[in-house]
């Protein structure tokens, strides 16, 4: 396949290297020092004590790449509205767009049916720019269960996890999802096709909704937070609020908050992606991960007091640190 990684950071870069090694024609869209390093030295993946380096077309102008079979959107959610118009030269009649971002994606209520069909979540797509640029028929949903970072420009490091879940927003099987899952498995990922991609997105959100924003407020890794019983009580309350909201939307979430926290404890000292961004002085993904839940809960009429409190507190703190545009 011709595959463009639109946002070749930690996750996107990991995907790009391994898909290229599997024989696909991969190109990268990035910017800044990371792009400059990839152009000069190629892209290096650090994984399991080994270094894997590849030289791939790397650009900041997608128009240089031409039409693709697949575009993987792997950038931070708040960066996408300003960049999404650059997708146009990559899209042919049959190009699929695989969204692999944290939080609630812009397409979440497309092909939904029922009372919430077509709900536009402004926390994900403030002015509808993404929805206008990417036709719903192109979208394939994705969930990433991996941890990676960028230790230096031109280098990505795969730290843990190897599972990718993809599925159609219609929740119906499709030939393209089967082909994409096969391509990802061929690149060494544990990729599975989902019959309910929204449920999988929400299941991952249960952890991100809690650990990411609170890690920035506390300045702490997950092991330290989960060693405190008062913080654990707050996490459990936030997860229950999110599960109540999921049930109101028709998503069955059979998750025990205590077991969910135990899973994270076993991973050890993990710095959330939001904390990594905050410590590096980069904008944080607050709206897609937390603001979207607050917005959807208000629309549906489900109270989420703990989630609201965390959202409001971090909005003010992040604005004061220059990491968020402000309330």
Task: Write out the two tokens for 182.
Answer: 């096969």
Annotated catalytic residue, options 204, 259, 266, 271: 204
**Closest by CA position to 20, among listed 132, 156, 148:** 156
Helix (H, G, I), strand (E, B) or coil at 288: helix
**Cα–Cα dist 262/239, whole Å:** 14
In the chain, alpha helices (H) = 10-21, 32-41, 80-83, 129-133, 175-186, 197-218, 222-225, 229-249, 257-265, 273-279, 286, 292-300, 305-320
Spatial separation of the C-alpha atoms in residues 80 and 262, rounded to whole Å: 33
Q: Are 97 and 138 in contact (CB under 8 A)?
A: yes
Closest among 290, 287, 294 to 324, alpha carbons compared: 287
- Find the length of the chain: 327
Picking from 137, 142, 135, 144, the residue whose alpha carbon sits closest to that of residue 163 is: 144
In the DSSP assignment, the letter for residue 224 is: H
Residue 161 CB partners (closer than 8 Å, separation 6+)? 144, 145, 146, 147
Q: Is residue 204 flagged as an active site residue?
A: yes
306 φψ region: left (φ > 0), alpha (ψ -120 to 50), beta (else)? alpha
For residue 277 the two structure tokens come to: 């961004």
Separation CA 319–CA 247 (nearest Å) = 32
8 A C-beta contact, residue 204 and residue 145: yes
- β-pair type (190-193, 155-167): parallel
For 95, list phi and psi in degrees, rounded to 5.
Answer: -70, 130
Active site residues: 204
């Amino acid at each position: 396949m011709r595959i463009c990684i639109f946002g070749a950071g930690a996750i996107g870069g990991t995907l790009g290297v391994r898909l290229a090694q599997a024989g696909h024609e991969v190109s990268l869209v990035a910017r800044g020092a990371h792009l400059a390093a990839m152009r000069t030295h190629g892209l290096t993946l650090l994984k399991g004590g080994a270094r894997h380096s590849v030289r791939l077309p790397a650009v900041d102008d997608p128009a240089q790449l031409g039409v693709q079979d697949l575009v993987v959107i792997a950038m931070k959610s708040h960066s996408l509205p300003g960049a999404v118009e650059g997708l146009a030269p990559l899209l042919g009649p049959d190009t699929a767009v695989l969204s692999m971002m944290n939080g609630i994606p812009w397409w979440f209520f497309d092909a939904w049916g029922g009372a919430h069909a077509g709900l536009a979540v402004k926390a994900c797509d403030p002015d509808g720019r993404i929805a206008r640029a990417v036709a719903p028929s192109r979208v394939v949903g994705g969930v990433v269960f991996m941890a990676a970072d960028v230790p230096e420009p031109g280098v990505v490091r795969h730290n843990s996890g190897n599972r990718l879940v993809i599925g159609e927003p219609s929740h119906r099987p499709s030939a393209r999802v089967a082909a994409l899952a096969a391509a990802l498995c061929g690149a060494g990922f544990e990729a599975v096709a989902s019959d309910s991609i929204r449920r999988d997105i929400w299941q991952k959100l249960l952890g991100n909704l809690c650990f990411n924003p609170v890690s920035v407020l506390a300045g702490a890794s997950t092991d330290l937070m989960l060693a405190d019983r008062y913080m654990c009580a707050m996490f459990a309350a936030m997860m229950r609020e999110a599960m109540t909201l999921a049930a109101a939307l028709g998503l069955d979430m059979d998750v025990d908050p205590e077991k969910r926290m135990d899973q994270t404890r076993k991973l050890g000292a993990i710095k959330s992606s939001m904390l990594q961004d905050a410590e590096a002085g980069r904008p944080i993904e607050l709206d897609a991960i937390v603001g979207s839940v607050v917005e959807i809960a208000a629309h549906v009429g489900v109270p989420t007091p703990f989630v609201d409190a965390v959202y409001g507190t971090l909005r003010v703190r992040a604005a004061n640190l220059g990491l968020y545009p402000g309330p």
